Amino acid sequence: MRIYLVSYMGSGKSTLGRKLAQVNGCHFIDLDKYIEERHCQTVPQIFAKEGETAFREKERNALLEVSEFSNVVVATGGGAPCFFDNMTLMNHTGITIFLDIAPGILAQRLLKSKTDRPLIRGKSPEELQRFIAENLDRRRPFYEQARIKIDREDIAPEEILRLIENF
Protein backbone atom coordinates (compact mmCIF):
# COMPACT_ATOMS: atom_id res chain seq x y z
CA MET A 1 0.00 0.00 0.00
CA ARG A 2 1.13 3.52 -0.82
CA ILE A 3 -0.55 6.53 0.79
CA TYR A 4 0.19 10.13 -0.22
CA LEU A 5 -0.77 13.07 2.00
CA VAL A 6 -1.24 16.32 0.10
CA SER A 7 -2.02 19.76 1.43
CA TYR A 8 -0.59 23.18 2.11
CA MET A 9 2.49 23.59 4.31
CA GLY A 10 1.66 23.54 7.99
CA SER A 11 -1.35 21.27 7.57
CA GLY A 12 0.18 18.45 9.62
CA LYS A 13 1.07 16.05 6.80
CA SER A 14 4.32 14.93 8.45
CA THR A 15 2.86 14.62 11.95
CA LEU A 16 -0.19 12.70 10.76
CA GLY A 17 1.90 10.71 8.28
CA ARG A 18 4.21 9.40 11.00
CA LYS A 19 1.23 8.34 13.13
CA LEU A 20 -0.54 6.77 10.16
CA ALA A 21 2.58 4.81 9.17
CA GLN A 22 3.04 3.58 12.73
CA VAL A 23 -0.58 2.43 13.09
CA ASN A 24 -0.48 0.83 9.63
CA GLY A 25 2.90 -0.86 10.24
CA CYS A 26 4.64 0.71 7.29
CA HIS A 27 7.39 3.25 6.56
CA PHE A 28 7.02 7.02 6.60
CA ILE A 29 8.67 9.32 4.07
CA ASP A 30 8.68 13.09 4.28
CA LEU A 31 9.34 13.97 0.64
CA ASP A 32 11.21 17.19 1.48
CA LYS A 33 13.51 15.34 3.90
CA TYR A 34 14.02 12.63 1.29
CA ILE A 35 15.12 15.29 -1.22
CA GLU A 36 17.44 16.89 1.35
CA GLU A 37 19.13 13.56 2.05
CA ARG A 38 19.49 12.70 -1.64
CA HIS A 39 21.02 16.09 -2.50
CA CYS A 40 22.90 16.86 0.76
CA GLN A 41 21.23 20.28 0.93
CA THR A 42 18.20 21.67 2.71
CA VAL A 43 15.16 22.71 0.70
CA PRO A 44 15.91 26.41 1.45
CA GLN A 45 19.49 25.90 0.18
CA ILE A 46 18.23 24.31 -3.04
CA PHE A 47 15.78 27.20 -3.55
CA ALA A 48 18.50 29.78 -2.87
CA LYS A 49 21.23 28.19 -5.00
CA GLU A 50 19.25 26.65 -7.85
CA GLY A 51 15.80 28.25 -7.80
CA GLU A 52 12.30 26.86 -7.61
CA THR A 53 12.34 25.25 -11.06
CA ALA A 54 15.35 23.09 -10.18
CA PHE A 55 13.77 22.20 -6.84
CA ARG A 56 10.51 21.15 -8.53
CA GLU A 57 12.48 18.88 -10.89
CA LYS A 58 14.26 17.27 -7.92
CA GLU A 59 10.89 16.91 -6.20
CA ARG A 60 9.38 15.22 -9.27
CA ASN A 61 12.29 12.77 -9.47
CA ALA A 62 11.98 11.99 -5.76
CA LEU A 63 8.26 11.40 -6.19
CA LEU A 64 8.94 9.01 -9.08
CA GLU A 65 11.36 7.10 -6.84
CA VAL A 66 9.06 6.81 -3.83
CA SER A 67 6.14 5.85 -6.08
CA GLU A 68 8.01 2.55 -6.56
CA PHE A 69 8.24 1.84 -2.82
CA SER A 70 5.80 -0.49 -1.07
CA ASN A 71 4.11 -0.06 2.28
CA VAL A 72 4.78 3.65 2.69
CA VAL A 73 3.04 6.79 3.79
CA VAL A 74 4.43 9.81 1.94
CA ALA A 75 3.98 13.39 3.14
CA THR A 76 4.49 15.52 0.05
CA GLY A 77 5.64 19.11 0.06
CA GLY A 78 2.82 21.63 -0.23
CA GLY A 79 3.61 22.44 -3.85
CA ALA A 80 4.36 18.91 -5.05
CA PRO A 81 0.81 18.15 -6.29
CA CYS A 82 0.79 21.33 -8.40
CA PHE A 83 3.64 20.59 -10.78
CA PHE A 84 4.11 18.28 -13.74
CA ASP A 85 1.50 15.50 -13.56
CA ASN A 86 2.33 14.70 -9.95
CA MET A 87 -1.29 14.27 -8.82
CA THR A 88 -1.95 11.86 -11.68
CA LEU A 89 1.16 9.89 -10.73
CA MET A 90 0.13 9.72 -7.07
CA ASN A 91 -3.47 8.77 -7.91
CA HIS A 92 -2.23 5.96 -10.18
CA THR A 93 0.31 4.56 -7.72
CA GLY A 94 -1.49 4.94 -4.39
CA ILE A 95 -4.24 6.51 -2.34
CA THR A 96 -4.16 10.29 -2.12
CA ILE A 97 -5.51 12.14 0.90
CA PHE A 98 -6.08 15.91 0.96
CA LEU A 99 -5.88 17.50 4.42
CA ASP A 100 -8.10 20.56 3.99
CA ILE A 101 -7.14 23.01 6.76
CA ALA A 102 -8.36 26.64 6.96
CA PRO A 103 -5.89 29.44 6.09
CA GLY A 104 -6.17 31.02 9.57
CA ILE A 105 -5.16 27.77 11.26
CA LEU A 106 -2.32 27.25 8.78
CA ALA A 107 -1.02 30.77 9.45
CA GLN A 108 -1.06 30.20 13.22
CA ARG A 109 0.83 26.94 12.85
CA LEU A 110 3.40 28.37 10.44
CA LEU A 111 4.09 31.38 12.67
CA LYS A 112 4.96 28.96 15.50
CA SER A 113 6.98 26.60 13.29
CA LYS A 114 10.74 26.42 13.65
CA THR A 115 11.12 25.11 10.09
CA ASP A 116 12.63 27.56 7.58
CA ARG A 117 10.16 27.90 4.72
CA PRO A 118 11.51 30.06 1.89
CA LEU A 119 8.10 30.93 0.43
CA ILE A 120 6.83 32.59 3.62
CA ARG A 121 10.00 33.99 5.19
CA GLY A 122 9.65 37.53 6.57
CA LYS A 123 5.87 37.87 6.24
CA SER A 124 3.78 39.55 8.96
CA PRO A 125 0.82 37.55 10.38
CA GLU A 126 -1.61 39.47 8.15
CA GLU A 127 0.57 39.07 5.05
CA LEU A 128 1.02 35.39 5.83
CA GLN A 129 -2.71 34.68 6.12
CA ARG A 130 -3.42 36.58 2.87
CA PHE A 131 -0.54 34.77 1.12
CA ILE A 132 -1.81 31.37 2.32
CA ALA A 133 -5.40 32.09 1.25
CA GLU A 134 -4.27 33.19 -2.24
CA ASN A 135 -1.93 30.23 -2.68
CA LEU A 136 -4.47 27.78 -1.35
CA ASP A 137 -7.00 29.05 -3.90
CA ARG A 138 -4.49 28.42 -6.70
CA ARG A 139 -3.47 25.00 -5.37
CA ARG A 140 -6.93 23.75 -4.41
CA PRO A 141 -7.78 22.38 -7.91
CA PHE A 142 -4.74 20.10 -7.61
CA TYR A 143 -5.41 19.10 -4.00
CA GLU A 144 -9.06 18.40 -4.82
CA GLN A 145 -7.95 15.65 -7.21
CA ALA A 146 -7.11 13.52 -4.15
CA ARG A 147 -9.33 10.50 -3.65
CA ILE A 148 -10.05 11.29 -0.01
CA LYS A 149 -10.62 14.73 1.52
CA ILE A 150 -10.31 15.27 5.26
CA ASP A 151 -11.38 18.61 6.69
CA ARG A 152 -10.91 17.81 10.37
CA GLU A 153 -7.74 18.67 12.25
CA ASP A 154 -8.28 16.05 14.92
CA ILE A 155 -8.81 12.92 12.84
CA ALA A 156 -7.22 9.77 14.23
CA PRO A 157 -5.00 7.58 12.03
CA GLU A 158 -7.36 4.65 12.66
CA GLU A 159 -10.23 6.66 11.16
CA ILE A 160 -8.15 7.35 8.07
CA LEU A 161 -7.39 3.66 7.68
CA ARG A 162 -11.14 2.94 7.80
CA LEU A 163 -11.69 5.50 5.04
CA ILE A 164 -8.92 3.91 2.97
CA GLU A 165 -10.52 0.47 3.26
CA ASN A 166 -13.21 1.69 0.85
CA PHE A 167 -10.64 2.15 -1.93
pLDDT at residue 113, as a whole number: 83
Classified as helix, coil or strand, 76 is coil
Number of structural domains (the chain) is: 1
Flag whether 161 is in a domain.
no
What pLDDT is stored for residue 87 in this prediction?
Answer: 98
Domain with 26 in it: what CATH number? 3.40.50.300
Range of the domain at 35: 2-152
Residue 43 lies in a domain: yes
49 domain-assigned: yes
Report pLDDT for 120.
Answer: 83
In a domain, 51, yes or no: yes
106 within some domain: yes
Q: Is residue 133 domain-resident?
A: yes
What distance in Å separates the CA atoms of residue 18 and residue 109, rounded to the nearest whole number?
Answer: 18
Do residues 147 and 167 make contact, with C-beta atoms less than 8 angstroms apart?
yes
Tens of pLDDT along the chain (167 residues) come to: 999 999 999 999 999 999 999 999 999 999 999 999 999 999 999 999 999 999 999 999 999 999 999 999 999 999 999 999 999 999 999 999 999 999 999 999 898 887 877 778 888 889 999 999 999 999 999 999 999 999 988 888 889 988 888 77
Task: Let me know if residue 66 belongs to a domain.
Answer: yes
Tell the burial category of 46 from Cβ atoms under 10 Å away from its Cβ (0-12, 13-18, 19+).
buried
Tens digits of per-residue pLDDT, 55-103? 999 999 999 999 999 999 999 999 999 999 999 999 999 999 999 999 9
pTM given for the model: 0.93
Kindly state whether residue 160 falls inside one of the protein's structural domains: no
